[in-house]
Amino acid sequence: MENITDDMIQNLSPWNDGIKPGDITKTVKESACEQAYQVSPRYLNAAGRLFGGDLLSWIDLTGALAAKRHCNMPVSTVAIDNIHFAKPLHLGDIAILISNVTHVGNSTMEVRVNSYVEDLATGHRSLVNTAYLVYVALKDEKPSRVPRLIPETDIEKREWFAGEKRNEIRKSRRKEGI
Ligand SMILES: CC(C)(COP(=O)(O)OP(=O)(O)OC[C@H]1O[C@@H](n2cnc3c(N)ncnc32)[C@H](O)[C@@H]1OP(=O)(O)O)[C@@H](O)C(=O)NCCC(=O)NCCS
């Protein structure tokens, strides 16, 4: 698979190639979301830490919000990548989740959700997890075309190219059944 180079970021704009007459376009920041949750006793596991399934649920909800804002339709989760919890969260900790649409297909939107634990005393945020989720926009229960995404910053453009690669990897895993 080709490496993502600075030249690609500066000179290529494949996101414009897929625009059809009548398509709506949206930027990444138009749908970005930030959610905060405090870890209360009902979210703890037997080890006294945040139960991973609850964090996963918050990740899915925050990702879905960005996807819904992008397409203005109901969405359903199709795939979730990369769950690796780098740090535990404890009672009273604040979890911050930030979601951005990184890539779109025809009816699908890939969303990156970064999860942080925020230190109440200093406001310092430490990264806990980066997940990529795929949502499908549904109209009358059927996949429906979503607005085109226009990445503006170098980071957003790099994410678009990386999103194309992740999409290829998902397709080949589906094909091979692994
Ligand atoms: C997602 C769903 C609508 C796809 O239905 P389908 O008949 O396979 O539809 P299509 O083949 O037209 O695929 C629609 C899109 O989903 C994508 N897709 C399907 N399976 C995927 C997977 N495992 N990973 C990533 N994308 C996937 C396709 O690539 C296509 O993308 P595009 O429109 O951007 O090109 C269907 O599988 C579904 O309803 N799944 C349940 C989702 C759900 O209920 N989630 C909540 C938790 S249970």
DSSP state letters, the chain: -----HHHHHH--HHHHT--TT--EEESTTT-EEEEEE--GGGB-TTSBB-HHHHHHHHHHHHHHHHHHHHSS-EEEEEEE-----S--BTTPEEEEEEEEEEE-SSEEEEEEEEEEE-TTT--EEEEEEEEEEEEEEETTEE---PEEE--SHHHHHHHHHHHHHHHHHHHHHHHT-
pLDDT of residue 2: 74
Query: With respect to CATH, is domain 24-176 assigned 3.10.129.10?
Result: yes
Q: How far does the centroid of ligand 1 lie from the alpha carbon of residue 135, in Å?
A: 8
Domain ranges within the chain, ordered by starting residue: 24-176
Ligand 1 centre to CA of 110 (Å) is 12
User: Can you give the pLDDT at residue 82?
Assistant: 78
What's the gap in Å between 136 CA and the centre of ligand 1? 6
The predicted pLDDT at position 83 comes to: 85
Is 77 a pocket residue for ligand 1 (Cβ < 6 Å)? yes
Predicted local confidence at residue 12, as pLDDT: 87
What's the predicted TM-score (pTM) here? 0.95
Q: Whose CA is nearest to atom 35 of ligand 1?
A: 106
Q: What is the mean pLDDT of each run of 10 residues along the chain (178 residues)?
A: 85 89 96 97 96 97 98 97 90 97 98 95 93 98 97 96 96 92
